[in-house]
């Protein structure tokens, strides 16, 4: 990756090192000592249908209205339009009562990097898009620093962003385990459809839900986990980084790790 002068100045101001691709050794999430070389997740050749009503070109569209509640078994075989409709009409847990709208996800349906956040906050609930507001801007800046974007771009550059939960918990409370379990089939299917080469879990809740663990985020980051054949990197949520500047350098290290995995998977 070539750094522009502007990026170099910005990173220097943040006190973080430049990203240089390196060889990464993986550990699985059960703590097996023997390291192994990370391999790229297999890609599917069949293109998922593009959304027809995306607000920005090349994006998965906001969820269309739907009435049905899809059983989990059906979700596992859904294509993009069916999945979006199922999420939009989902009433499988109590969060449907207080949401303004569901937040399905945005980005490239073939993205090499998939970002998984926690749950919609107030602005996400209003706008129907994950990671908006100040946290979203910070995420966009972090992605830009490693040559990625949520705006329209080829799959190697445009990410796909989704949340673990598709509806906002009231007053941004932590999700209940039952809510997470009810919503999990949707995220699982999104990951299956995107077939990302790397998954970046942002925040404790997303990391623990994805990896089915209760380990603290401090122990989950700085290493490569495997989930259904895809490498998973864990880092802090941008909203947390806005409050805890001291951890920005650690988050940058995590981002460099994800970028290195993407380089290796080319
Ligand atoms: S949080 Fe998930 S499971 Fe609950 S109503 Fe929303 S989409 Fe359905």
Strand order in the sheet with 224-227: 106-107, 160-163, 113-117, 198-202, 230-235, 224-227
Torsion-angle region of 172 (φ positive above 0: left; ψ -120 to 50: alpha; else: beta): left
- CA-closest residue to ligand 1 atom 4: 93
Whether 15 is in a domain gets the answer no
Residue nearest to ligand 1 atom 6, measured at CA = 167
What does the mean pLDDT of the chain come to? 82
Any residues with CB less than 8 A from the CB of 246 and at least 6 apart, and which? none
Could you tell me the CATH number of the domain that includes residue 210? Answer: 3.40.470.10
Residues in the chain: 266
* Residue 65 vs residue 30, higher pLDDT: 65
Distance (Å, rounded) from C-alpha 240 to C-alpha 243?
Answer: 5
Judge whether 24 lies within some domain: no
pLDDT (0 to 100) of residue 12: 53
Give residue-wise pLDDT tens across range 116-153.
999 999 999 999 999 999 999 999 999 999 999 999 99
Ligand 1 test: best mutation among 86, 97, 102, most atoms within 8 Å of CB?
102
- What is the chain's alpha carbon radius of gyration, rounded to the nearest angstrom? 18
Are 239 and 119 in contact by the 8 Å Cβ rule? The answer is no
Distance between first and last Cα of the chain: 13
Q: Give yes or no for residue 168 CB within 6 A of ligand 1.
A: no
Q: Is the CB of 93 under 6 A from ligand 1?
A: yes
If one residue of 89, 92, 185 were mutated to test the ligand 1 pocket, choosing by the most ligand atoms within 8 A of its CB, it would be 92
| Mutational pocket test of ligand 1: of 94, 96, 99, 170, the residue with most ligand atoms within 8 Å of the beta carbon | 96
Q: Are 105 and 160 in contact (CB under 8 A)?
A: yes
What digits encode the pLDDT tens for the residues 183-206? 999 999 999 999 999 999 999 999
Does ligand 1 lie within 6 Å of residue 102's CB atom? yes
CA 152 to chain centre: 17
Neighbours of 84 (CB within 10 A): 24
The number of folded domains in the chain is: 1
Structural domain containing residue 118: 52-264
Distance CA(242)–CA(160), nearest Å, equals: 22
Among 62, 67, 87, 95, residue to substitute to test ligand 1 (most atoms within 8 Å of Cβ): 95
| Residue 64 banded pLDDT, cuts 50, 70, 90 | very low
Evaluate whether 242 touches 8 at the Cβ level (below 8 Å).
no
In the chain, how long is the greatest CA-to-CA distance?
A: 52
Could you tell me if residue 34 is inside a domain? no
Does any domain span residue 144?
yes
Taking the CA of residue 87 as reference, the ligand 1 atom at the shortest distance is 7
Burial of 240 (0-12, 13-18, 19+ CB in 10 A): middle
What separation in Å is there between the alpha carbon of 232 and the centre of ligand 1? 24
Strands (E), 129-256: 160-163, 198-202, 224-227, 230-235
Hey, what's the torsion of the CAs at 3, 114, 66, 51, to 10 degrees? 50
Nearest-angstrom CA–CA distance, 144 and 73: 38
Tell me, yes or no, whether 40 lies in a domain. Answer: no
Angle formed by the axes of helices 177-194 and 204-211, to 10°? Answer: 80
- Is the CB of 90 within 6 Å of ligand 1? yes
- Residue 11 — very low, low, confident or very high, per pLDDT cuts 50/70/90? low
Q: Is the pTM value of this prediction over 0.85? A: no
- The answer to whether residue 45 is domain-embedded is no
Which residues are registered as beta bridge partners of 227?
230
Residue 166 φ then ψ, to 5°: -95, -5
Secondary structure tally for the chain: helices H, strands E: 10, 8
- Distance in Å, CA 181 to ligand 1 centroid: 9
Per-residue pLDDT tens digits for 13-45: 444 555 555 555 443 333 222 223 333 332 322
């Amino acid at each position: 990756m070539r750094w522009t002068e502007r990026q170099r100045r910005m990173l220097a101001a943040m006190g973080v090192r430049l990203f240089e691709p390196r060889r990464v050794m993986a550990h699985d999430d059960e703590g097996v000592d023997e390291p192994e070389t990370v391999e790229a997740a297999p890609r599917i050749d069949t293109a998922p249908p593009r959304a027809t009503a995306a607000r920005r070109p090349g994006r998965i569209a906001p969820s269309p209205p739907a009435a049905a509640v899809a059983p989990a078994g059906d979700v596992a075989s859904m294509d993009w339009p069916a999945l979006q409709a199922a999420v939009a009409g989902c009433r499988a847990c109590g969060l449907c009562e207080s949401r303004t709208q569901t937040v399905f996800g945005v980005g490239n349906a073939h993205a090499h990097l998939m970002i998984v956040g926690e749950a919609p906050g107030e602005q996400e609930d209003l706008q129907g898009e994950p990671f908006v507001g100040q946290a979203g801007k910070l995420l966009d800046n972090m992605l830009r620093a490693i040559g990625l974007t949520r705006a329209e771009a080829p799959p190697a550059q445009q990410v796909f962003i989704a949340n673990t939960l598709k509806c906002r918990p009231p007053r941004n409370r932590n999700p209940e385990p039952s809510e997470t379990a009810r919503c999990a089939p949707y995220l699982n299917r999104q990951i299956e459809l995107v077939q990302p080469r790397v998954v970046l879990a942002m925040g404790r809740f997303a990391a623990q839900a994805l990896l089915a663990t209760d380990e603290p985020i401090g122990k989950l980051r700085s290493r490569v986990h495997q989930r259904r054949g895809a490498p998973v990197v864990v880092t802090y949520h941008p909203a947390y980084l806005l409050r805890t500047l001291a951890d920005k350098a650690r988050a940058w290290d995590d981002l460099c790790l994800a970028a290195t995995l993407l380089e290796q998977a080319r």
